[in-house]
Amino acid sequence: MTTKNIPNHVGLIMDGNGRWATAKGRERTYGHYMGYKRLKKTATHILNKGVKILSVFAFSTENFQRPKEEVDYLMDLFLTSFKKEIKYFVQNNVKVVFSGRKEPLSDTVYDSMKELEMETISCDGGILNICLNYGGQAEIVDASKLIAESFKNGKIKLEDITVESFYNYLYNELPAIDLLIRTSGELRLSNFMLYSISYSELYFTNTCFPDFDEKEFDEALESYQNRNITKGTIKQK
């Protein structure tokens, strides 16, 4: 594996926590806890590889439709882990940002998200973008509303609205995703960062996320580096 052609922005759909736990005869919540433990190690490894931005799908807007017991557990896990891991991310120089809507998150969970963002705002060793209460279609709708409001107020002109400028109205103004990874064998995008993945290279693995370790990511990275990436153009020899 070469150190050249490192993707600037990696997206990670962390799937399979519940199935992983069920296969081991444990409660689904155990899988979510082990997924959280895995994310700490894997995220640090990915950013240490030279990736500048890692966006992870932690909780979708649709996930609120899961059993209340599971949702409540996840909200408690978010609350405790965001507070607990401030020191870890600061020590590893990782800036944490969140993408998603505030409602219907509780004030305590939302405040813990804002605290983690503020405590890591000066870190410059890489960005971990946690998509929580997130939906790709919702992000596009919210961005469109911001653009419409700016146009209505005379802040922008119609010709100012371009494919490139649209990124400025997304939740965190992050660039396009170069490599999108999904774990657990599912072959779908699940409404994840739809505007940002138009030319992403896709990588699917049967490994459930709690087992998606450093070696698994390195295999995904090697696959990416071995591809002829043209983004709709013809690559010159």
Q: Which amino acids are annotated catalytic?
A: 15, 63
Whole-number Å distance between alpha carbons of 63 and 107: 18
Lookup result for tokens 């807007």: 61
Q: Which structure tokens are listed for 143? A: 């961005």
Q: Identify whether the C-beta of residue 117 lies closer than 8 Å to the C-beta of residue 100.
A: no
The single-letter code of the amino acid at 123 is C
In whole angstroms, how far apart are CA 183 and each of 22, 42, 114, 172, 199?
16, 13, 28, 24, 19
157 φ/ψ angles, rounded to the nearest 5 degrees? -105, 165
Whole-number Å distance between alpha carbons of 7 and 62: 29
DSSP letter (8 states) at residue 24:
T
Whole-number Å distance between alpha carbons of 70 and 67: 5
Q: Please give the sequence-ordered ranges of beta strands (E in DSSP) within 61-192, or none if there are none.
A: 95-99, 127-134, 179-182
Q: Which residues contact 154 (CB under 8 A, 6 or more apart)?
A: none
Q: Which residues contact 196 (CB under 8 A, 6 or more apart)?
A: 9, 11, 55, 167, 170, 174, 175, 176, 177
Please tell me whether residue 94 adopts helix, strand or coil conformation.
Answer: coil
